[in-house]
Structure 1
Amino acid sequence: MARFFPFMLLAVIAYGVTVAALGVPLSRELLNIGLPSGTAFVLTVSELLLAISTVVLFFEIMNATSAKSSSILNHGLSMVVFIACGLIFLFIPGFGTGTFVIITLMALVDVIAGYSISILTARRDMTFGNNE
């Protein structure tokens, strides 16, 4: 079941729960650490959500390297997540932010990478003629 689950949905859910449901502002500081350079490292909710989304995207791309038939279902569901993100961005208050646009772009990268990797894998696995 995990092979065809679109993990980018987790990033969208994390955003929805944090920002839309709980009302946590994207600019809220979560961490403020002084660095030896004298600069303060500040981590906001927005940056944490984007970091989580980036890690999720990594696992999605790793999942796309599978040549199993379940990957086709995963690609289709990933496309549904991307389309849903676009519609949510346009029509649901609280999702019209730069952070959510970047998460939506990550969902698009997931779709493009999934199909591209599948095509390249299929092309590599194809053999033409008799190689004897």
Structure 2
Amino acid sequence: MIAATPLLILPFILYNLGMIGILGSGGVAVFEDVILSMTMLSGAVWTMSVGDLVIVIALLLLFVEILKATRVSSKALLDHLLSMVLFIVFLMEFLLVANAANHVFFILMTICFIDVIAGFSVSMRTAGRDVSIGL
């Protein structure tokens, strides 16, 4: 069961912990806090906020989720089902919770949607290769 748990639940938990104030100042303002600032060779200043870091973490986990989708086992179906449930929870929170209606949460929800679509697509493609017709 733990292997079938979608990894994108981690950014969801991080966002909600930040939203209730456990990660910092509290509310969605914590996602605007700058954690890294670098001056580029062009002279421009590049900054990374907490929200940007959560999005990068989610993208890395999306890569792992797509790799997980290539396995053919009974756990794969449960993994896809739980990913769909997670997306529905993302969508419900986006629509119903005022602090979730911002760009960071929307991008996290979009990443979760891509996980659902890519998971089913990759699994169907992989399952199609495993079917052999004996004549």
What is the TM-score when the length of structure 2 is the normalising length? 0.90
Alignment pair present for 1:42 and 2:43: no
State the alpha-carbon separation in 1 of the partners of residues 61 and 99 from structure 2: 22
**Which gives a bigger RCO, structure 1 or 2 (Cα 8 Å, sep 6+)?**
1
- Counterpart in 2 of 1:13? 13
User: Which portions of structure 1, spanning 4 or more consecutive aligned residues, are displaced by more than 3 angstroms?
Assistant: none
1:51 CA displacement? 0.6
Structure 2 unaligned blocks of 5 or more = none
Post-superposition Cα deviations, 1:15-43, rounded to whole Å, max 9, x if no partner, equal 1112x111151222111111222111111
Post-superposition Cα deviations, 1:75-114, rounded to whole Å, max 9, x if no partner, equal 0000000000000001113111111111111111111111
State the alpha-carbon separation in 2 of the partners of residues 81 and 102 from structure 1: 14
What is the identity, as a one-letter code, of the residue corresponding to 2:54?
L
Structure 1 unaligned blocks of 5 or more = none
1:3 CA displacement? 2.4
What is the TM-score when the length of structure 1 is the normalising length? 0.92
- Counterpart in 2 of 1:51? 56
1:69 CA displacement? 0.8
Aligned residues with identical type, % of pairs: 33
State the alpha-carbon separation in 2 of the partners of residues 27 and 9 from structure 1: 21
- Counterpart in 2 of 1:105? 110
Give aligned pairs, total. Answer: 129
- Counterpart in 1 of 2:3? 3
Alignment pair present for 1:127 and 2:132: yes
SS in 2 for 1:42: strand
